[in-house]
Amino acid sequence: MKKNKEYNRRDFIRSGMRLSLALSLGGIGGLALRKHTSEEWVWQIDPFLCNQCGRCATECVRNPSAVKCVHAFDLCGYCDLCGGYFIPDPIKLDTGAENQLCPTGAITRKFIEEPFFEYTIDEELCIGCAKCVKGCASFGNGSLHLQIRHDLCRNCNQCSIARVCPSKAIKRVPASEPYLIKGNFTRS
Amino acid sequence: MNKWSKISIILVIILISPVVLAQQRFPKPEFESEYTQPSPTIPEPRSISLEYFDIFVLLAVLTVAAWFILKSRSRKGLLWLSVFSLIYFGFYRKGCICPIGAIQNVALSFSDPGYTISLIVLAFFLIPLILTLFFGRTFCAAGCPLGAIQDLVIIKPLSMPSWLRKPLGIIPYIYLGLAVLYAVTKTDFIICRYDPFVGIFRMDAPFHMVILGISFLLMGMFIARPYCRFLCPYGVLLSWMSRFSKWHLSITPAECIQCKLCTTSCPFDVIEEPTKEKIEPGSRIYLRRFILYALFIPLWVVIGGYTVSRASVILARANQDVYLAELLIAHPELREDPDNIDIQIFLASGKSMETLVEEAQVIQKNFRTGSWILGGFLGLVIGVKLMNQVIFRRRNDYEPHRGDCFSCGRCMDYCPVK
């Protein structure tokens, strides 16, 4: 008889605790649901905040980085002397490696018509170091800029670049609008 | 200073002035030849329906695991299910998002009005907890890729004495508390940053993370599931749920014959022996000790809060803003250092030192409050754990400890009773 009583008490405590734990879980869920989104978040770089510090190339969990240079052709001046393509004081304005700013030679320069050239990024080679972005922002229109490429991004819960970004340019954006490409996206 | 840098400075000044901002420095040419301008490619992220499919997979895995544990009592089934979870959530989904890390998203959503939590993350956080309340730690048994990879490498588990196991069991509480503190102060997601196995799942993580993961696995050959037992912060929540779960794995399907075979089967030392008849329950000395320990709990809370609050300045240093402010105050000469990117970009941003210091002070204040709460929580944990030591629970058979048991099912396999 005594044994029975003891077990009943234990069961009572257990179901009481279970109920209160369930209620607190419900409470947490309910509070979190007050402000929620049915969408997923992805990480993206705000090109207007980016300072081209170069950490995107080194801090990403992926190697090479999921951050690549993107060319907003709408903004490009198609210059012969491109600040993003050539090192400062190039020996000659040609495709020689000694004149190129990009450490991996990821920018292709193509002649269109006198005196205009088209510059495209080979994303296979791009490491996201932002050297060209810096050059283009300093001497050109700023049409070259960094973006996180979502076919490569692991969408880590905590972006390891965002943590160390000195200008806090990496933020969460809704997955339905995953890019902040200059031209379409303007500084608000 | 060469010509180019002079030009660049002038151009930067021009760029900053808002009048010039509207128009481009070099307007886009109007081409005479047949030139079609390419548009930048935008590879899409993983589709949202696939993310919802992950929730479905998690639910399915946990339900099947509960069936294997409670109904079919199949260790083999659980093993293969955990291999599936390892492949799907680990190697295919690369370990993100996981319920362990989701703790931080939930914490952040409560503190940051600018952050809205995604339903997917919330579901990943809640589903394993709710199911544990009914079936025990099914998530640890077969749903967790981190647990699965450690479970597979257990070769020769050594039994750990309880004087070592119990104090080490405090670490997950500390880790949980710190993770929540750093998440609510918008500082860092430490659980994700120091996840030892994500480097293995991704195969391309930084070197030190891969080393950490491999050393955990090597350790795990002899100390079974070290991350789960002595670090996992989500395990703390799961063990609270599991302690009071409606159903739980039982070692034997019928009457226990006290053969003790199961005690050697458990690599985690969580099978508890039947209580000896000699000890008399309800004896006066136990009651007195129980009351004494219960009365000590508020003291533990205050001691804990005070101790951790002493460390709040150090804890706050992990925050980038606080770190920068302290660095600039302690070493003003670093303003001249062109290699310090953080300082240079701060100086270029035009934000005043006063604003930075003010912001840092607010964060430090939050850390002070937070560390009192964290310390109080840890004190409470220690107090309750000590009190639990003197609570007498009668056991007639060999039973798994409900809170700490991962429901891996090894003991069911060993039990000769069919």
The pLDDT tens digits for B142-196 are 999 999 999 999 999 999 998 999 999 999 999 999 999 999 999 999 999 999 9
What is the pLDDT, as a whole number, of residue B20?
A: 40
Same domain, B259 and B313: no
Instruction: Note whether residue B193 is domain-resident.
Output: yes
What is the pLDDT, as a whole number, of residue B7?
A: 56
Same domain, B146 and B243: yes
Same domain, B152 and B57: yes
Cβ contacts of B117 on chain A, cutoff 8 Å? 32, 35-37
Overall average pLDDT of the A75-94 stretch: 90
Confidence bin at A95 (pLDDT 50/70/90): confident
Same domain, B135 and B206: yes
Same domain, B178 and B112: yes
* Residue B178, amino acid: L
Cβ contacts of B39 on chain A, cutoff 8 Å? 73
What is the pLDDT, as a whole number, of residue A145?
A: 94
Contacts of B386 (CB under 8 A, 6+ apart): B293, B296, B300
Q: Answer yes or no: do A18 and B12 touch at CB < 8 A.
A: no
Checking if the pLDDT of B3 tops 80, the result is no
Q: Which of B214, B234, B266 is the last residue of a domain?
A: B266
What is the pLDDT, as a whole number, of residue B283?
A: 66
Instruction: Note whether residue B82 is domain-resident.
Output: yes
Same domain, B261 and B352: no
Q: What is the rounded distance in angstroms from the CA atom of residue B355 to the CA atom of residue B60?
A: 51
Q: Which of B231, B266, B301 is the last residue of a domain?
A: B266
Same domain, B110 and B195: yes
Q: Which residue has the tokens 């509480």?
A: B173
CA distances in angstroms from B253 to B78, B80, B122, B400, B406, listed in the order given? 17, 22, 36, 14, 18
Task: Identify which has the larger pLDDT, A187 or A69.
Answer: A69
Q: DSSP string spanning B167-207? A: HHTTHHHHHHHHHHHHHHTTS--HHHHT-SSHHHHHS-S-H
Same domain, B166 and B72: yes
Q: What is the rounded distance in angstroms from the CA atom of residue A105 to the CA atom of residue A95?
A: 9
Closest CA to B50 of B81, B86, B88: B88
Of A51, A77, A139, the CB nearest to B28: A77
ipTM: 0.89
Give tens-digit pLDDT for B182-225. 999 999 999 999 999 998 998 877 788 889 999 999 999 999 99
What is the pLDDT, as a whole number, of residue B10?
A: 53
Contacts of A55 (CB under 8 A, 6+ apart): A161, A164, A165, A166, B341
Sign of CA dihedral B400, B405, B407, B409: negative
For chains A and B, CB pairs below 8 A equal 170
Same domain, B69 and B218: yes
Q: Between vectors from CA A61 to CA A58 and to CA A66, what angle results, nearest 5°? A: 75
Q: What is the rounded distance in angstroms from the CA atom of residue B418 to the CA atom of residue B404?
A: 25
- Residue B47 DSSP label: P
Same domain, B262 and B288: no
The structure tokens listed for B344 are 């240079």
Same domain, B72 and B131: yes
Closest CA to B409 of B141, B172, B224, B11: B141
β-strands A67-71, B271-272 pairing: unpaired
Domain containing B288 equals 284-390
Q: What is the rounded distance in angstroms from the CA atom of residue B341 to the CA atom of residue B312?
A: 27
**What is the average pLDDT score of chain B?**
90
Q: What is the rounded distance in angstroms from the CA atom of residue B246 to the CA atom of residue B260?
A: 26
CA distances in angstroms from B226 to B32, B169, B216, B287, listed in the order given? 69, 11, 7, 35
What is the pLDDT, as a whole number, of residue B61?
A: 97
Q: What is the rounded distance in angstroms from the CA atom of residue B101 to the CA atom of residue B179?
A: 9
Q: What is the rounded distance in angstroms from the CA atom of residue B314 to the CA atom of residue B308?
A: 10
Whether residue B411 contacts residue B262, with contact meaning beta carbons closer than 8 Å, is answered with yes
Residue percentage of chain B with pLDDT more than 70 = 93
| Beta strand spans in B223-344 (E) | 271-272
The structure tokens listed for B44 are 């899409």
| Beta strand spans in A124-169 (E) | 144-148
What is the pLDDT, as a whole number, of residue B98?
A: 92
Whether residue A93 lies within 8 A of chain B, CB to CB, comes out as: no
Number of helices (H), then strands (E), belonging to chain B: the values are 22, 3
CA A77 to chain B, closest CA, distance in angstroms equals 5
Q: What is the rounded distance in angstroms from the CA atom of residue B249 to the CA atom of residue B245?
A: 10
Contacts of B266 (CB under 8 A, 6+ apart): B400, B410, B411
Classify burial at B218, counting beta carbons within 10 Å of its beta carbon; exposed 0-12, middle 13-18, buried 19 or more.
exposed
Whether residue A129 lies within 8 A of chain B, CB to CB, comes out as: no
Task: Identify which has the larger pLDDT, A60 or B33.
Answer: A60
DSSP H helical ranges for A34-154: 55-59, 131-139
Whether residue A188 lies within 8 A of chain B, CB to CB, comes out as: no
Q: What is the rounded distance in angstroms from the CA atom of residue A38 to the CA atom of residue B116?
A: 10
Specify the length of chain B in residues.
418
Mutate to test the interface with B, among A21, A126, A176 (most CBs of B within 10 A): A21
Hey, which residues does A119 pair with through a beta bridge? A109
Cβ contacts of A42 on chain B, cutoff 8 Å? 45
Q: Which residue ranges make up each domain of chain A? A: 1-36, 41-174
Of B118, B241, B346, the CB nearest to A39: B118
Checking if the pLDDT of A176 tops 70, the result is yes
Domain count, chain B: 2
- Greatest extent of chain B over all pairs of C-alpha atoms, in Å: 102
In three-state secondary structure terms, B89 is helix
- The dihedrals phi and psi of A69, each to the nearest 5 degrees, come to -80, 135
Same domain, B312 and B252: no
CA A46 to chain B, closest CA, distance in angstroms equals 15
Whether residue B393 contacts residue B248, with contact meaning beta carbons closer than 8 Å, is answered with no
What is the pLDDT, as a whole number, of residue B19?
A: 40
Q: Answer yes or no: do B122 and A37 touch at CB < 8 A.
A: no
Hey, which residues does A170 pair with through a beta bridge? A45
Classify burial at B413, counting beta carbons within 10 Å of its beta carbon; exposed 0-12, middle 13-18, buried 19 or more.
middle
Q: Which residue of B has its CA nearest to A139?
A: B8
CA distances in angstroms from A149 to A64, A65, A123, B129, listed in the order given? 12, 9, 10, 34
Whether residue A103 contacts residue A131, with contact meaning beta carbons closer than 8 Å, is answered with yes
Residue percentage of chain B with pLDDT more than 90 = 69
Q: Which residue has the tokens 């967790």?
A: B144
Give tens-digit pLDDT for A118-149. 999 999 999 999 999 999 999 889 999 999 99
The structure tokens listed for A78 are 């198609």
Give tens-digit pLDDT for A26-82. 999 999 888 888 888 999 999 999 999 999 999 998 889 999 999 999 899 999 999
